Chain A
């Protein structure tokens, strides 16, 4: 097993301490490490980006590891492990989409380590970006080329690129947070989940260098609204999503979000318009699925993903019936 290059660790005791340590060059926040350790071990990033300082958020007190319901609103600390979210009866009772998404993320071991904050901030899994030793110096690393455009792009974006990058956001919990209209509370501000990833590459989130996620807040579901999450992956027990979809539908409203189809979670507004206020049945769900992918543009090898995305939207809607 490859060893990890030398770095300095800062065990932050407070959010303020973490934030100030993150102002240093090449300082990265470290939560469960399931994404970061791999990135470091395989040296996928160029030296200009490689972590030199890891700011350990697990030592912050009072801990950011909690799940609570206050005045009908769900509050989850950024350092809460995915497995704890998946097992929480509170989350399961009213925020089914997030409960399911957390449960279907990665493998049990990774869920026992990986946190919600880390899951929404994780880097893309594009195989060009991730190849060992920075073999592909792509646009996301400050290069000039997206190697997926003319290369192996069977799992890449079906809604075009952002700054000519065709990578997709791999998070399972992200679309659930968008569908459930969550807010992301950082050390600086509160951001609507939908806007959290609305940023140009090479960044993955709108977070600034010295900003960390503290909490995720989700409003209680309006009456009659049901939510669900569905995921399509090669092996259901461990793999990243090929396409996933979360939906929250009822009381005349609908919020539907796909992920792993675009640079950031992709809100399927056309599907929402198509299904909102209608009775959910196979025909209406099918029509909404088809509406979701109007405007999709296939790359050379991923036309099949468009069909999968339409199917995922249909399935998510039917699960809200």
Chain B
């Protein structure tokens, strides 16, 4: 098989598995989210990125061959201001629905769902919560914000994150960003103590902790 073709089919496979978004598309989108702010045209690009991540999701549940049983129920969710209606089984976890079916790939799973790392944090009805410990069926009519949404809503926070080198491998970063956004929604000018307290449930394997505090202080003008 010619090399080109081989590559393409791998990407298609990936697309099937990840709810319609290939790794390459995701990388581009996430680069826009985390990288573009610093080059000055962040707004436009991240909005496109948000659409890119959110739009295919709608189609993905409609077309996916999910093993739905008679116990599945329809719930409606507002995720990053987009409205979704999805069928969920009683035992489905919110994280899997948001990530695997709706395509919000910023939501991570660093601790296997022990509730011990914060990388799956989303803001639900104003509270930073762990999507890995939440049953999707219990979230009907919830308003949810993920890192994709924060990238649009609070660009200066993302910019401060980039400028302060808050990530090494970057795996924990979306969880931190979402938790920080929840903090700033409640307390626009948090003290260092309040920042440390709020981020207490986010674990970073690479040890970037001190940088997050600098970034949040910078964005609130408390530096």
- Closest B residue to A32 using CB positions: B133
User: Which residues of the other chain, A, contact B217 by a CB distance below 8 angstroms?
Assistant: none
Number of interface residues of A (CB under 8 A): 28
**Of A9, A37, A108, the contact of B90 (CB 8 Å cutoff):** A9
**A301 contacts B by Cβ under 8 Å:** no
- Closest A residue to B132 using CB positions: A1
User: Which residues of the other chain, B, contact A3 by a CB distance below 8 angstroms?
Assistant: 91, 93, 96
Q: Which of B149-204 contact A (CB under 8 A)?
A: 179, 196-201, 203
Q: How far is the CA of A9 from the CA of B75 in the complex (A)?
A: 14
**A109 contacts B by Cβ under 8 Å:** yes
Contacts from A to B (Cβ < 8 Å):
1-9, 33-34, 37-38, 41, 54, 56, 58, 81, 83, 106-110, 112-113, 237-238
Report yes or no: B198 in contact with A33, Cβ–Cβ below 8 A. Answer: no
Q: How far is the CA of A105 from the CA of B203 in the complex (A)?
A: 16
Of B13-21, B52-60, B109-117, the one with at least 4 CB within 8 A of chain A: B109-117
Report yes or no: A8 in contact with B90, Cβ–Cβ below 8 A. Answer: yes
Q: How far is the CA of A38 from the CA of B133 in the complex (A)?
A: 7
User: Which residues of the other chain, A, contact B109 by a CB distance below 8 angstroms?
Assistant: 1
Q: How far is the CA of A156 from the CA of B127 in the complex (A)?
A: 34
Q: How far is the CA of A111 from the CA of B12 in the complex (A)?
A: 41
User: Which residues of the other chain, B, contact A81 by a CB distance below 8 angstroms?
Assistant: 127
Of B2-10, B38-46, B78-86, B134-142, the one with at least 4 CB within 8 A of chain A: B134-142
User: Which residues of the other chain, A, contact B96 by a CB distance below 8 angstroms?
Assistant: 1, 3
Given A58-B138, A109-B118, A113-B133, also A1-B93 (CB < 8 A): yes
**B101 contacts A by Cβ under 8 Å:** no
User: Which residues of the other chain, B, contact A109 by a CB distance below 8 angstroms?
Assistant: 115, 118, 121, 128-130, 179, 201
**B71 contacts A by Cβ under 8 Å:** yes
**Of A1, A4, A38, A108, the contact of B91 (CB 8 Å cutoff):** A4
Residue in A1, A6, A107 whose Cβ sees the most chain B Cβ within 10 Å: A107
Given A58-B138, A109-B179, also A238-B132 (CB < 8 A): no
Q: What 15 additional pairs, Cβ within 8 angstroms, besides A3-B91, A54-B90, A113-B133?
A: A6-B90, A9-B135, A33-B138, A34-B133, A37-B115, A41-B113, A56-B138, A107-B200, A108-B179, A108-B197, A108-B198, A110-B133, A112-B129, A113-B129, A238-B201
Report yes or no: A238 in contact with B116, Cβ–Cβ below 8 A. Answer: yes
B136 CB to closest chain A CB (Å) equals 11
Given A4-B91, A108-B128, also A9-B137 (CB < 8 A): yes
**B95 contacts A by Cβ under 8 Å:** yes
B132 CB to closest chain A CB (Å) equals 6
7 residue pairs of the A-B complex, CB under 8 angstroms, read A1-B113, A2-B113, A3-B96, A9-B90, A37-B135, A108-B197, A109-B118
